[in-house]
Amino acid sequence: MYRQIPNLITLARLALTVVFFVLLNTHEKSTFVWHMQIAFMVFLVAVLTDILDGYLARKWKVESAFGRVVDPFVDKILICGAFIFFSSDDFINVAEQLFSQDIIKAGRITGVHPWMAVVIIAREFLVTSIRGLAESRGIDFRSDWAGKIKMFVQSIAVAAVILDLAVISKVPWIHVLRDVAIWTTVVVTVLSATTYVVRARKVLIERA
């Protein structure tokens, strides 16, 4: 039975992701703040359980095809979906009703611009395509250290954005952390894509 625990945790994370997006899909000023507070807690649980299911699968040596497919799928949906929401006018328009005029005029409600979401999504498409090509040729192409660092930094950025929204940008250090985390995420995302391209080129040339 314990062999199924990592997969059950992964499914639970998928359910948490759905709850997370329901909370972000708020359209009422009166519920916005507490939705963000709950979304922050849900996101933290989703991230921590991601670490847990991978650790248990490796420790018990029960890594499965299901986990290899669904676990990264949940990661991608969680992060990419969050950035899409953060750059959406529907989401920002609701938040604007609670923020100060200075922040609204500066256009810094979430700190996420649409092009940033495009960069993050494009990276995932690129790496997924490379992985599919490599594995179709019998080459094991699992996530490397750059991918793990990328996920860690992206998670901090999403958490910081939600926390800043939950306190309506009234805590200066959280606001600064949010901006630093977002821009660091963009840079790390691009660099991690580069490492995958270089790695894929080397592996595919050697195999050829």
pLDDT tens digit sequence for 55-113: 777 777 777 777 788 888 999 999 999 999 999 988 888 877 887 676 655 557 899 99
Q: Dump pLDDT digits (tens) for 40-53.
A: 999 999 999 988 88
Tens-digit pLDDT profile for residues 127-169 = 988 888 887 777 777 777 888 899 999 999 999 999 999 998 8
Contacts of 57 (CB under 8 A, 6+ apart): 6, 63, 64, 67
- The whole-angstrom separation of Cα 155 and Cα 183 is 13
Confidence at residue 26, expressed as pLDDT on a 0 to 100 scale: 82
Sign of CA dihedral 85, 162, 178, 172: positive
When pLDDT is cut at 50, 70 and 90, the band that residue 2 belongs to is low
Which of 117, 132, 126 is CA-nearest to residue 198?
A: 126
The reported pLDDT for the residue numbered 17 is 96
CA angle 126/182/196 to nearest 5° reads 25
Q: Residue 50: which region, alpha, beta or left (left: phi > 0; alpha: psi -120 to 50)?
A: alpha
Residue type, 89: D
8 and 67 in contact (C-beta within 8 Å)? no
- Give the pLDDT score at 107: 58
- pLDDT value of position 103: 65
Phi then psi for 46, rounded to 5 degrees? -60, -40
Q: What was the pLDDT predicted at 158?
A: 97
